[in-house]
Amino acid sequence: MALEDYRYYMETCRRCSVCKFMPLEKVIGYDRINVCPSISRYEFHSYCAGGRMVMGTALLEKRLDYTDKLLEVVYNCNMCGACDTSCKYSMDTEIIESINEIRNHCVDTGHTNPTLDKVISNLRKLGSMVPGAPAKRGEWADGLGLKDCTKEKVDVVFHVGCQTSFNKNMWHLVQTTAKLLQNAGVNFGIAGENETCCGGRAYQMGYRDDLLAQAKKNMGMIKKCGAKTLITGCADGYQAFKVIYDQYALKGDLEVLHVTEYLDRLIKENKLTPAKPVDMVVTYHDPCHLGRMGETYIHWEGREVIDEIRTLDPPKEYRRGTYGVYEPPRDILMSIPGLKIVEMDRIKEYAWCCGSGGGVSESNPEFSMWTAAERIDEAEITGASAIVTACPWCIKNFKEAVSRKGSHLEVYDIIELLDRAI
Amino acid sequence: MALNRNFYKALENILGPEYVSDDPVITETYANPFRQGLAAPPTFEAITLPDSTEQVQAIVKLCNQNKVQFKASSTGWLYSDPATPNCIKIDLRRMNRILEINEKSMYAVVEPYVIAAQLQAECMKRGLNCNITGAGSNCSALPLAAHVNLGHLSQSGSYGERNQLALEWVTGDGEIVRLGSLGMLDEWFCGDGPGPSLRGVIRGDTTPLGGLGVYTKAAQKLFHWAGPYTFPMEGVSPKYKPAYIPENFLVRYLSFKDLDDMIEAVLKIGESEIATELMCFNPAMMASNLATKNVEEEIEIYNRFTKSVQGPGFMVLIMGNSRGDFEFKKKVLARITEETGGKPLEEVEDPENQGGYIWRYFRETGSIKETGRVLAPQAGMVGGTDSFPLMSYFIKSCARVKEQLIKEGALFDDGTSPFMQSTEHGHLAHGEVLARASLRLKGDKLLEMQRGINKGSNEISIKGHFGMPQHVWGDELHDMYGPHASNYHLWLRKIKKTFDPNGASESSTYISAKDE
């Protein structure tokens, strides 16, 4: 797809401002109705999806140049997809795809963000989205005796992801996951030093070719090891393998599960039993790329029929955020004795972003932290003692925001709490 | 035309550099995105983001001193927000506070960027409700910000200019005027006194749409809400479903053999004051409100609905204050339905559909579907404020223009009757001819069609003595209607000239102060 292919959507924006707010049916008060971090932080209409649609049309019409300001607006978006869900409550449009295509267009025409270029350069050299990491990718698994899926046949590939692999503070998450999988008797393996980035975050930044290159490497490895299932604890990785690879017809019939889906399944099959009480009140943060952005890609091939009105033949089913992964993480938490969940105002398909996506945490850490701090405020109001989530990028951002704010909140991955209960 | 640097610097001094921009990337995105072969519209010279009345006043005064125009808006539906050369935008997005909800006196005070969904949600917690503009609860809750502010609740909750209480206004030349009780007592409870009452002046014929300065705060009347603090909607967007229908609520869709029967039913319902909402939605609007999948599903539902209706119809929503009140209202509705030959659309009564409809109509979340998806309008004639029968006949007459354009292939044939709504229990009414321009029409031909439907409808309005429609925006239309309506346009111009002597408040959707 090229930017031109999104012209219809961009030209038919109603400028109704719905993309700025949570779906209106769910508004229950004055506070926290905003869903778009970008316009909430920068205020000008340009920063919301509606503004970005106009910008896309203007780029096509060559009414705007690729100025520093344009690139500043383009890259100050977390690519969280909340606008897409809110718009699609009413309309048949492709909002986040259009926004992503604007970024692709910028990269294709050589108009990039220098910081993101460095990140991508590192990806190309080292296969990682965490530049300058002191650890080696597979080091976290030293001494665990896990199978190497690049050498042995396994049923399940456990893709760890860049953030967890290279951040020693997160190693316990994957080590715990591996232990839980072992205990449940799952025949799984890791790629260790041979694991490479999923490419999902590169895609969010507009580097489509790099996503495709990473996808080909990953799927080649998976094909070789014969696994039918891939699990990952990273929401970005999950969305990349499950949705984006599928969008580009690279996924094949690989089953992609987030670790919360897999563990929830094991709990429901009585292969794991959370028995020890964990007396805590927690609130759950839906990672964008596990929730609304994580629903299955729906292929559509057909023709656009422009008559008096525009219809599609055959009709297209739109991804509206309806079928994201919302319940498995909550089901796991609810299966833990003594643990109570209190919900934040913005949850599930209209959850507020943690701030780390879209390259923002690399290119504009201040904005990334501003976004995370907003979520920490929201979590604090619930009265919970901890915010729990299911993505290492969210964890990293929240921990930093909590530290900067001096918040009392603890930050956990679901895995940590499940481990305490088993 | 680039802004004078000293002027821009002065804007920065008022707002801080973060809240003003003349960068083309910023100004471009405030332009109308719609194309369909039309040339790209002009852009504002700069965008400003004030967060207080004082900042608005300072911007307005600066504009007056420098002969620069300004145009203020809140949530900003595209159609009423034209940019013109030498004009800056005042984006009121940062003025988003609910200042007061007075439960005892039943009014609320808001700034322009509070959206109706926020105000309604807060009101519901207090057993109150507010009228919401028909464009949806995504729009400003400030009564005069959103055109006439007619909406689904106007049957029982009236509309903007009538609900308007005290108001704070920055005039076109930068004076802060506090109207009604606010002018004397620092209280918001009344629009007419004990301070100055200029309600008619600030309202004009159909509200100035940003053409007479900036309304920065306003109080509005609230209404009783007999429902729960929050409506029990579950599920994930857009497939929200009610966990249960709260007690004493129902929604029905009734169709009639002809317009006269429908009018009789509307008037009877109005006389008996049983309805909280009454909107003469056509089957296409009912279908768009129900479809969640795509436009093709909407067409499918529409085709089904069309087969089930016998002619023009309406959606009626009843909210009982008690079981007894609810039962009484139901009986009255049943009697009226029988007397007027109303035929229910059964699919609406399915509990899941009904609960969804009820909430969507209270929250007015379906408006974008109703106006944005395929069976809905991109252009149209907006009927005036007069009695329900007269407005019904006006809109019916205008529909002939639509029929002709359909025959010519300029409009999509949605096969539906015009849209009408009853206001204040039938005392007043409003209607629209919904017209969806054919996608085959591009550029000038599209404009020609739009002009055609407006011209034809205006001729009908004048020749048929139907009164002033609510779409009379701009000099051309005021000059057309004025001579037929006591030369009101001359007075409107005097108002414009008095409160905006330098013409700083951009008024292409209001009236200019040009000399006669």
SS3 letters for chain A?
A: CCHHHHHHHHHCCCCCCHHHECCHHHCCCCCCCECCHHHHHHCCHHHCHHHHHHHHHHHHCCCCCCCHHHHHHHHCCCCCCHHHHHHHCCCCCCHHHHHHHHHHHHHHCCCCCHHHHHHHHHHHHHCCCCCCCCCCCCHHHCCCCCEECCCCCCCEEEECCHHHHHCHHHHHHHHHHHHHHHHCCCCEEECHHHCCCCCHHHHHHCCHHHHHHHHHHHHHHHHHHCCCEEEECCHHHHHHHHHHHHHCCCCCCCEEEEHHHHHHHHHHCCCCCCCCCCCEEEEECCCCCCCHHHCCCCCCCCEEEECCCEEEECCCCCCCCCCCCCHHHHHHHHHCCCEEECCCCCCHHHCCCCCCCCCHHHHCHHHHHHHHHHHHHHHHHCCCCEEEECCHHHHHHHHHHHHHHCCCCEEEEHHHHHHHHC
In chain B, which residues have their Cβ closer than 8 Å to the Cβ of A291? none
Q: Give the pLDDT band of residue B246 (cuts 50, 70, 90).
A: very high
Q: What is the pLDDT of residues B311-341, one digit of tens each?
A: 999 999 999 999 999 999 999 999 999 999 9
With an 8 Å Cβ cutoff, are B363 and A24 in contact? yes
Flag if B360 and A92 touch (Cβ within 8 Å): no
Checking if the pLDDT of A56 tops 70, the result is yes
A88 touches chain B (CB under 8 A): yes
Q: What is the pLDDT of residues B269-315, one digit of tens each?
A: 999 999 999 999 989 889 989 999 999 999 999 999 999 999 999 99
Considering only the beta carbons, identify the residue of B21, B237, B364 that sits closest to A85.
Answer: B237
Residue B114 confidence (pLDDT) above 60: yes
The residue with greater pLDDT, B191 or B449, is: B191
Residues 311-330 in A contacting B (C-alpha not used; CB under 8 Å): 311-312, 315-318, 320-324, 326
Average pLDDT, chain A: 96
Backbone conformation region of residue A327, classed left if phi is above 0, alpha if psi is from -120 to 50, else beta: alpha
Which of A291-295, B107-111, B432-436 comes out lowest in average pLDDT?
Answer: B432-436
Contact A26 B440 (CB under 8 A): no
**Residue B194, preceding peptide bond in cis (omega within 30° of 0):** yes
Contact with chain B for residue A85, Cβ under 8 A: yes
Please state, in angstroms and as integers, the Cα–Cα distance from residue B215 to each residue in B30, B150, B204, following that order: 20, 18, 14
A-B Cβ pairs (cutoff 8 Å, strict): 214
pLDDT score of B379 = 59
B1 — pLDDT class (breaks 50, 70, 90): low
Does residue A145 have a pLDDT over 80? yes
Average pLDDT value for residue range A254-259? 98
Question: By the CB < 8 Å criterion, does B405 face chain A?
Answer: no
Indicate yes or no: CB of B365 within 8 angstroms of CB of A89: yes
d(CA B249, CA A375): 36
Least confident of A316-330, B256-270, B390-404: B390-404
Do B221 and B180 touch, CB atoms closer than 8 A? Answer: no
Per-residue pLDDT averaged across A279-303, rounded? 97
Residue B359 has its nearest CB partner, among A25, A318, A348, at A25
CB < 8 Å from A in window 71-130 of B: 75-78, 81, 91, 93-94, 98, 114-115, 117-122, 125
Of A101-110, B17-26, B51-60, B72-81, minimum mean pLDDT range: B72-81
A222/B145: higher pLDDT = A222
Residues of chain B positioned with their CB less than 8 A from the CB of A17: 75-76, 115, 138-139
Q: To which H or E segment does residue B421 belong?
A: strand B419-423
- Please give the pLDDT value at position B125: 98
Burial of B86 (0-12, 13-18, 19+ CB in 10 A): middle
Query: What does pLDDT average to over chain B?
Result: 92
Question: Which of B25, B230, B369 minimises the CB distance to A46?
Answer: B25
- Lowest average pLDDT, out of B65-74, B120-129, B267-276, B392-401, goes to B392-401
**Region B249-266: what's the mean pLDDT?**
97
- pLDDT digit string, tens, across residues B61-100: 999 999 999 999 999 876 557 778 899 999 999 999 999 9
Instruction: Answer whether residue B515 shows pLDDT above 80.
Output: no
A7-23 residue pLDDT tens: 999 998 888 999 999 99
The arithmetic mean of pLDDT across residues A98-125, rounded, is 97
A40 touching chain B per CB within 8 A: no
pLDDT surpasses 90 at B395? no
Instruction: Report yes or no: B407 at the A interface, CB cutoff 8 Å.
Output: no
Look at residue B38 and tell me whether its pLDDT is greater than 90. no
A24-44 average pLDDT score? 98
The strand pair at A156-159 and A229-232 is best described as parallel
**Which are the contacts of A348, defined by CB distance < 8 A and separation ≥ 6?**
A286, A291, A292, A324, A326, B236
Q: Which residue of B has its CA nearest to A17?
A: B75
Query: In this complex, is the C-beta atom of A70 within 8 Å of any C-beta atom belonging to chain B?
Result: yes
Distance between B251 CA and the closest CA of chain A, angstroms: 17
Contact A309 B40 (CB under 8 A): no
From B441, which residue of chain A is nearest by alpha-carbon distance? A308
Confirm if B485 and B469 have CB atoms less than 8 A apart: no
What tokens were used for A334?
């609810």
Contacts of A33 in chain B (CB under 8 A): 115, 117-118
What pLDDT is recorded for position B370? Answer: 77
> What CA–CA distances, in Å, run from A247 to A259, A267, B385?
22, 31, 52
pLDDT band at B416 (very low <50, low <70, confident <90, very high): low
Q: Is the pLDDT of residue B377 over 90?
A: no
Residue B452 pLDDT grade (very low, low, confident, very high; cuts 50, 70, 90): confident
Taking an 8 Å cut-off on Cβ atoms, the answer to whether A91 and B373 are in contact is yes
pLDDT greater than 90 at residue B411: no
Q: What is the pLDDT of residue B470?
A: 83
Tokens of B203: 């309202």
Residue B375's pLDDT is what? 59
The ipTM is 0.96
Q: In chain A, which residue's Cα lies nearest the Cα of B135?
A: A16
Q: Which of chain B's residues have a Cβ under 8 Å away from the Cβ of A86?
A: 237
* Cβ-Cβ contacts under 8 Å for A121 (sequence gap 6 or more): none
Which residue carries 């495709």 as its tokens? A212
Angle between helices B259-272 and B323-340 (to 10 degrees): 160
pLDDT given at position B37: 85
B-chain CB neighbours of A53 within 8 Å are 33
Of A102-106, A372-376, B437-441, B460-464, where does mean pLDDT reach its minimum? B437-441
pLDDT at A166 exceeding the cut of 90 = yes
Which residues of chain A from 340 to 359 reach within 8 Å of chain B, CB to CB? 348-350
Q: Least CA distance to A39: which residue of chain B?
A: B93
pLDDT at residue A307, rounded to an integer: 84
B190 close contact with A: CB closer than 8 A: no
How distant, in Å, are the alpha carbons of A70, A145, B50, B442 from that of A16? Answer: 23, 56, 21, 23
Q: What distances in angstroms separate CA B351 from CA A387, B53, B243, B252, one per listed residue? A: 37, 47, 10, 11
Instruction: Report the C-alpha gap between B285 and B307 in whole angstroms.
Output: 15
3-state secondary structure of B397: helix
pLDDT level of residue B254 (50, 70, 90 thresholds): very high
Give B-chain residues touching A36 at CB under 8 angstroms. Answer: none
Interface test with B, best of A20, A24, A54, A77 (most B CBs within 10 A): A24
Q: Are strands B164-170 and B176-179 parallel, antiparallel or unpaired?
A: antiparallel
pLDDT band at residue A135, thresholds of 50, 70 and 90? Answer: confident
Neighbours of A4 (CB within 10 A): 12
Distances, alpha carbon B121 to alpha carbons A28, A382, B165, B495, in Å: 5, 19, 20, 37
Residue to substitute from B92, B129, B236, B405, interface A, most A β-carbons within 10 A = B236
For B293, the closest of A13, A317, A321 (CB atoms) is A317
Give every CB contact of residue B223 below 8 A, 6+ residues apart in sequence: B106, B128, B129, B130, B131, B153, B156, B157
* Cis check: omega of the bond before B24, within 30 degrees of 0: no
pLDDT attached to residue B467: 86
Chain B residues with beta carbon closer than 8 angstroms to that of A16: 75, 77, 135-136, 138, 368, 372
In chain B, the residue whose alpha carbon lies closest to the alpha carbon of A31 is B118
Q: Which residues between 15 and 74 in chain B have a beta carbon less than 8 angstroms from any beta carbon of chain A?
A: 19, 21, 23-26, 28-36, 40, 47, 49
Q: How far apart are CA A270 and CA A316, in angstroms?
A: 39
Asked if B95 and B216 count as a contact pair (C-beta separation under 8 A), the reply is: yes
Q: Is the pLDDT of residue B195 over 60?
A: yes
What's B94's DSSP letter?
Answer: G
If residue B25 lies in a helix (H) or strand (E), which one and from where to where? helix B24-28
pLDDT of residue A325 exceeding 80:
yes
pLDDT of residue B169: 97
Whether B294 and chain A come into contact, CB under 8 Å, resolves to yes
Q: Does residue B373 have a pLDDT over 80?
A: no
CA dist A241 and A239 (Å) reads 6
Does residue A370 have a pLDDT over 80?
Answer: yes
User: How far apart are the CA of A281 and the nearest CA of chain B, in angstroms?
Assistant: 23
Q: Which two tokens stand for residue A129?
A: 């989205």
